[in-house]
Structure 1
Amino acid sequence: MLPYPNINPEILKIGPLSIRWYGLMYLIGFLCSYLIVKSEIKRKGLKVEKDFLENLYFYLILGLLIGARIGYVLFYNLSYYIHNPLEVLAIWHGGMSFHGGLLGVIFSAWIFTKIKKFDFFTLTDMLVLTAPIGLGLGRIGNFINGELYGRVTDVPWAMIFPEGGPLPRHPSQLYEAGLEGALLFVILWFLKDKFNKSGLISSLFLILYGIFRFVVEFFREPDPQIGYILGIFTMGQILCSIMILAGLGLFFYRSRK
């Protein structure tokens, strides 16, 4: 068994304000995404307005936050929020869904490309190249927070998480950081110039993320308010299955386009 490092989630605290590792991870993720998309636009010789990226990331961040919150409410704890509707706005209490955030980003990117008359799939192909960076860093943030830990196990690298009870558990946040972050980034980056049709890299992101997350969910503790579906699957696996099917459909659709 390995000792849990117990890193202070707060980097700096001044009065009621604090800078946390989790927030810093996402800030770094968005900064990396901005720089990579900017580089890809230049490399591809795409003509965009001067403030194109600044406006784009305003839309994306807004879509991510709204989508992630609505997704959590609908997918993970609907009955609670029906009885406590004002809690929907209390995002500081936690509760954000990746799949909801993904839908929010897709919707906001679609609106943005309609306004700017920019090809939607050309944009999403650039964005998904950068998504694993934020995802991987975000999972490291989860690990530092001691949240979203894994199921009880006796593997040699198991850890006892402060909020996970006395038994050792899988550090599933690190599994996700490795698969959904590092490995997914390497695969997409290697394949980014292998296709001559837009949308295919986007479809591969949906498929591969869905597969990696589906696998890791077998090691991750399910959400307590939901538990297991059909006695074995988690809500995350159900949503990932839909994501994989959507990715496959998009891949064949764009391949034949």
Structure 2
Amino acid sequence: MTAITALTAQNTVGVFGVVETPPEFLRTQIRCVLDDIGTDAFKSGMLGGADNIAVVAEEIAAYRTVPFVLDPVMIAKGGAALLHDNAVDALIGVLMPLATVITPNIPEAERLIGRRIVDERDMVEAGRQVCALGASAVLVKGGHLPGTILTDVLIADGVEEAFTAPRIETRHTHGTGCTLASAIATRLAQGRSLRDAVADARAYLRAAIESAPGYGAGAGPLNHGVAITEIARG
């Protein structure tokens, strides 16, 4: 179930416009879902400004019995800014302490800690620094680094683990971060441990990329129905 934080005009080539949802209407959307249906997990993505971050934090804090995956969406794949400069402090100070795990990519982690990340060692140190800012656990995603092997680093409960896989050479990567965070939230909702939820989500994401339908002239969407397709095939 979705509470819409903003309307975007976009396609596979880029983002051409953003209209943010008024904070109190965002609150109404969230409460309508929670009061009637409830939820087994939260996942947040693009939030835009500090006012919407405050609303999301207040509503999650009032319903603090389920996992929360925080995807700190800051920059679109084409480079468009999706988080206001004045909202970074709110994300760190208000929302991050509520999260079960935060899932920054390299540019997002760099913005959170204020320095460059150039290799896996930097990723680990960045994860430690994000934890020091108040995060319970951090998954630093390494897709922006060069190389044929892609590495993500999970830091949770003082344990550091690297997840690696061969890079898939494709332009169809629209929404990979959102997909991964949503899949992690889904598996946490089903009772999986954080480590296993990350492993499962990465496997699902890989299958969704490998079977992407090939739409658009730019960064095309993934095949989010890949698991359903495999079940249908028997």
Determine which structure has greater relative contact order: mean sequence separation of CA pairs < 8 Å that are 6+ residues apart, divided by chain length.
1
Name the TM-score class by shorter chain: under 0.3
TM-score where L is the length of structure 2: 0.27
TM-score where L is the length of structure 1: 0.26
| Greater helix fraction, Structure 1 or Structure 2 | 1
| Greater strand fraction, Structure 1 or Structure 2 | 2
Structure having the higher Rg: 1
